[in-house]
């Protein structure tokens, strides 16, 4: 199940195109069952290869597209498919060691960290001599549309740093605690409303990949797309 929004009104993604992805009647169905943030007891154990291929091709003409996945790129082997002319997929993890190893192996990564870990700074160290750079939208009043002067940091395939997102929302303590399941930001606030609506929508007559490609093809040139604000690349 896929929901598409041509112009987001959310603070962080204001002015760009976004999508939400879910299973039929179960929002966590496309997320990995092993994800630390997923406390639903449900989820996927394999990649939806057809959707992944469509996602990689779902880049607007002369534009930018990016997203995140909690599926390990080396275990599930999607990292080898990344190319400069395709959608940038960031490996999303709560472990700085895993995030740094991903960068070291050529796959961009992001990590959820605690507020305290920043110690009032914009960067912090990670293993392998790699730095974590705080998401600019947490420091200044900007959105993804403004980040990097139209070239968002998360959309840069060959960067040599991790992007850090500070745990936030009602479950931020869980999100920052590696020993506790849960803490998904998407399961709260307006994002939860959109995600639930996606899961409970009418049964489509096309696949998620087909709908995604049709949506992106209709966007104006030079558009910016953040794919699945909630949801992942898993097979239902």
* pLDDT given at position 197: 94
Residue 18: count other Cβ atoms within 10 Å of its Cβ.
24
pLDDT 10s per residue in the chain (236 long)?
999 999 999 999 999 999 999 999 999 999 999 888 888 888 999 999 999 999 999 999 999 999 999 999 989 999 999 999 999 999 999 889 999 999 999 999 999 998 888 999 999 999 989 999 999 999 999 999 999 988 999 999 999 999 999 987 666 666 666 677 777 888 888 999 999 999 999 888 999 999 999 999 999 999 999 999 999 999 98
* pLDDT given at position 176: 66
What pTM was computed for the model? Answer: 0.94
Q: Report yes or no on 235 lying in a domain.
A: no
Category of 183 on φ-ψ map: left (φ > 0), alpha (ψ -120 to 50) or beta: left
Q: Report yes or no on 14 lying in a domain.
A: yes
Q: Report yes or no on 234 lying in a domain.
A: no
Q: Report yes or no on 232 lying in a domain.
A: no
Beginning with the edge strand found earlier in the chain, give each strand of the sheet holding 2-5 in spatial order.
2-5, 17-21, 224-226, 64-69, 88-93, 109-113, 162-166, 131-134, 123-125
Q: Report yes or no on 62 lying in a domain.
A: yes
Q: Report yes or no on 86 lying in a domain.
A: yes
* pLDDT given at position 8: 95
Number of structural domains in the chain = 1
Q: List CB contacts of 22: < 8 A, sequence separation 6 or more.
A: 1, 28, 29, 30, 195, 198, 199, 230, 231
Range of the domain at 28: 2-226
Q: Report yes or no on 141 lying in a domain.
A: yes
Q: Report yes or no on 236 lying in a domain.
A: no
* pLDDT given at position 175: 65
């Amino acid at each position: 199940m896929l929901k598409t929004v041509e112009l987001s009104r959310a603070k962080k993604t204001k002015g760009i195109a976004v999508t939400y992805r879910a299973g039929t009647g179960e929002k966590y169905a496309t997320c990995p069952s092993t994800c630390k943030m997923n406390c639903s007891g449900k989820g996927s154990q394999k990649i939806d290869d057809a959707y992944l291929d469509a996602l990689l091709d779902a880049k607007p003409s002369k534009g930018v597209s990016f997203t995140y996945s909690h599926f390990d790129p080396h275990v599930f082997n999607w990292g080898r498919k990344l190319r400069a002319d395709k959608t940038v997929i960031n490996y999303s993890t709560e472990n700085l060691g895993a995030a740094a190893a991903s960068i070291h192996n050529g796959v961009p990564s992001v990590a959820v960290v605690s507020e305290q870990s920043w110690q009032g700074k914009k960067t912090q160290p990670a293993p392998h001599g790699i730095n974590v750079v705080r998401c600019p939208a947490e420091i200044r009043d900007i959105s993804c549309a403004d980040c990097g002067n139209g070239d968002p940091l998360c959309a840069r395939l060959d960067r040599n740093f991790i992007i850090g997102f500070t745990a936030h929302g009602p479950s931020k303590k869980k999100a920052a605690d590696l020993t506790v399941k849960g803490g998904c930001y998407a399961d709260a606030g307006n994002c939860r409303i959109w995600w639930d609506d996606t899961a409970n929508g009418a049964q489509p007559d096309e696949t998620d990949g087909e709908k995604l490609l049709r949506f992106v093809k209709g966007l104006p040139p030079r558009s910016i797309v953040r794919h699945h604000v909630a949801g992942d690349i898993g097979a239902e």
